[in-house]
Amino acid sequence: MPLNEFDIINQYFNRAIAPESAVIKGIGDDGAIVSPTVGKQLVMSVDTMVAGCHFPENTSPFNIGSRALCTSLSDLAAMGAKPLWFTLGLTLPESYNEWLEQFSAGLFSIADRYHCELIGGDITRGPLTITIQVHGEVFPDTILRRDGAVAGDQVFVTGPLGDGAAALAALQNEISISLEDHHYLSKRFYSPEPQIIAGQTIAALAHSAIDISDGLLADAAHIAKASGVAIVLHIDRIPTAKALKNVDRERRLRWLLTGGDDYQLLFTVAAKRVGELADLISQKHIHAYCIGEVRADNSGQYHVRCFDQGQRYHIGKCHESGYQHFTT
C-alpha cells in the first residue's frame, strides 16, 4: 500500500541523531540546525540524478541509493573536505514499501561508511529523481579548487579511468566480458568510491583538483580554463583496470578520455613537491599516477592536448567537451 509523505520520512529516513553530533535539529522542523566547527569553512555541493539519464531505469533501489550519495560525496573529495551532512530531495512515481526499504538501505550504507548524516529534505510525486546536497568542512588553507594549477605542475590521477563508461556498456549488453569483470564494473558504477581520504591527503600539497565525472578531457579543461593554463596529457600513462584490457584500443581510449563517471581525482602538484607525493604513495596513504603536466598558455585558449607514446593524439571535436546536459 502506498505511503504518504510523512509516513515515508518517519519510517525510512528519520534516524536518531548521535549524542556527539554537531546537528542540533535535523529532520522534523522547517529547517535543519547545525553547528559548524570553529575555524573551518563549509563546502556544499548539489547533484541531481534522473532515471534513464544517470542510471538505467531497471536499476535496483539499493544501487540507486548508493550511487546517488557516492557521486555527490565525490565533489567533497575533490575539494579536500570531510563529509558531515546531506539533504535528500526524492521524487517518486509511487511510494512502495519494498522500494523505499531497499533505496534507504543503499543510501545509508554509504552515509554510515563516510559518517555523513541525513539532516532534511523533501519528498514529492513525479518521475523518479534524486537530488542530494552534501555538506563538508575543511581548513581554509587546505581547500582544493580548480583554479590553482601553475605552469610546471605535474598532473596526477588517483586511479583507473574508463570504468564508468565500460560499466554502462556492460550493463546495456554492448560488450561481452567475464562474470568477474562484470561484477567489478557494476560495483564501480553503482558504488563508485568517493576519494575522500585521497582528497584530504593531498589537500596541503596539490595546487588544484577536480573529480572526474564528465570525462578526463572535459574535467582537465575545467582546471585549465579556471587556472588560465594549458594541460598536456600522456594517454599511454593513464591507469586502466584489467576489465578493460580486452576492449579494442580506440574504444578504450575514448572511454578513458571522454566516458566520465569515474569519480577519481585529477590534481596538479608543483614539480618540486612531487617527491613528497611519492612518499605518500610509497607509504600507501594514496594511489596516484602521473599522466601529464601543466604548461603556460598565452593564447587564451587554455587547451588540453593529448599525446600517445610521444605522438600527438587527436580525438573528434564531438567528444572533447565530455558529458553535458541539454546537448544533442
Mean pLDDT within 195-202: 98
Domain range for residue 42?
5-141
Residue 297 carries which side chain, given as an amino acid letter? Answer: D
Res. 176: pLDDT tops 60: yes
78 assigned to some structural domain: yes
Nearest residue to 270 (alpha-carbon basis) of 204, 210, 197: 204
Q: Is 310 annotated as a binding residue?
A: no
Let me know whether 304 and 172 are in one domain: yes
325 — pLDDT class (breaks 50, 70, 90): very low
Res. 254: pLDDT tops 90: yes
- In the chain, what percentage of residues exceed pLDDT 90? 84
Mean pLDDT within 117-142: 96
43 assigned to some structural domain: yes
Classify residue 247 by its DSSP letter: S
Identify which has the larger pLDDT, 151 or 4.
151
Given this model, what pLDDT does residue 224 score?
97
Q: Is 213 annotated as a binding residue?
A: yes
316 — pLDDT class (breaks 50, 70, 90): low
Q: Is 323 annotated as a binding residue?
A: yes
Q: Give the C-alpha separation, 59 to 47, whole Å.
A: 18
Q: Is 261 annotated as a binding residue?
A: yes
Phi and psi dihedrals of 186, rounded to 5?
-60, -40
Mean model confidence pLDDT for the chain: 93
Q: Is 47 annotated as a binding residue?
A: yes
Number of domains observed in the structure of the chain: 2
Give the other-Cβ count within 10 Å of 29's Cβ.
9
Residue 89 carries which side chain, given as an amino acid letter? Answer: G
Q: At what angle do helices 61-78 and 179-190 cross, to 10 degrees?
A: 60
Which of 141, 167, 193 delimits the end of a domain?
141
322 assigned to some structural domain: no
Mean pLDDT within 193-214: 97
Res. 205: pLDDT tops 90: yes
Q: Is 297 annotated as a binding residue?
A: no
Given this model, what pLDDT does residue 16 score?
84
Residues 92/51, Cβ–Cβ less than 8 Å: no
Q: Give the C-alpha separation, 78 to 144, whole Å.
A: 7
Q: Give the C-alpha separation, 44 to 86, whole Å.
A: 9
Instruction: Give the pTM.
Output: 0.93
Q: Give the C-alpha separation, 78 to 178, whole Å.
A: 32
Let me know whether 246 and 223 are in one domain: yes
Q: Is 54 annotated as a binding residue?
A: yes
Q: Give the C-alpha separation, 206 to 201, whole Å.
A: 9
- Express each pLDDT in 64-100 by its tens digit: 999 999 999 999 999 999 999 999 999 999 988 999 9
Residues 134/116, Cβ–Cβ less than 8 Å: yes
Residues 35/22, Cβ–Cβ less than 8 Å: yes
Q: Give the C-alpha separation, 5 to 267, whole Å.
A: 42
